Chain A
Amino acid sequence: DVKVTQSSRYLVKRTGEKVFLECVQDMDHENMFWYRQDPGLGLRLIYFSYDVKMKEKGDIPEGYSVSREKKERFSLILESASTNQTSMYLCASRSGGASYNSPLHFGNGTRLTVT
């Protein structure tokens, strides 16, 4: 069965800290995504990656960066955490190629609180 694992379920960080959110998938998927989920705003795409070392900005990339050194792992980095980055972060993956009609597989999310 498909599995996307996010390393932390809950995370509390201080303003200004550098934060790493990790995501691992075991399906050999080429495409990986980071979304944030906020009440009343739904899911918004932060960054995505088509392949190792490839990355593309989503709709709200400001204040974030990503790293994809291995196919199975996609990291989201908050260079200097701020309180407005308190949110639920969801990682997803999908098979590559002409796969725009393939479903996304989501992790269970990381709830980040920045104080």
Chain B
Amino acid sequence: AQSVTQLDSQVPVFEEAPVELRCNYSSSVSVYLFWYVQYPNQGLQLLLKYLSGSTLVESINGFEAEFNKSQTSFHLRKPSVHISDTAEYFCAVTLAGYSTLTFGKGTMLLVSP
């Protein structure tokens, strides 16, 4: 079975600073990787996903993540965060051919002025 590790439960950062949220997975077979975001009092919504092809994927609001097979990582980055990016971020993985997602425990991004 696959597993996902998000090492940081909270990441405090100042507005306009860069941020990296770390995600590592354990699987020796082909995987599909996702980042979801949960804003306060809302459900989760897809931020970006890696299925195949280019290892660098981007979202419409400036986040990017890079799939690194050798390090089994899929870290999320943003060069300059906004207050509105304050939310909880979940990394998730599924194996090719499976329909269920396994989620990490989440990282709370706290952006302050």
Contacts and interface: CB of A to CB of B under 8 A. Distances in A.
B99 A50 contact: yes
Contacts of B42: 108-109
**Does more than half of chain B's interface fall in helix, strand or loop, or is it mixed?**
loop
Interface in B26-78: 32, 34, 36, 41-46, 49, 51
Contacts of B94: 100-101
B49 A42 contact: no
B103 A42 contact: yes
B90 A103 contact: no
Nearest to B101: A104
Interface of B: 6, 9, 32, 34, 36, 41-46, 49, 51, 90, 94-106
20 contacts: A33-B100, A40-B9, A41-B105, A42-B6, A42-B104, A42-B105, A43-B103, A45-B100, A48-B100, A92-B43, A94-B99, A100-B32, A100-B94, A100-B95, A101-B32, A101-B51, A104-B36, A104-B101, A108-B42, A109-B43
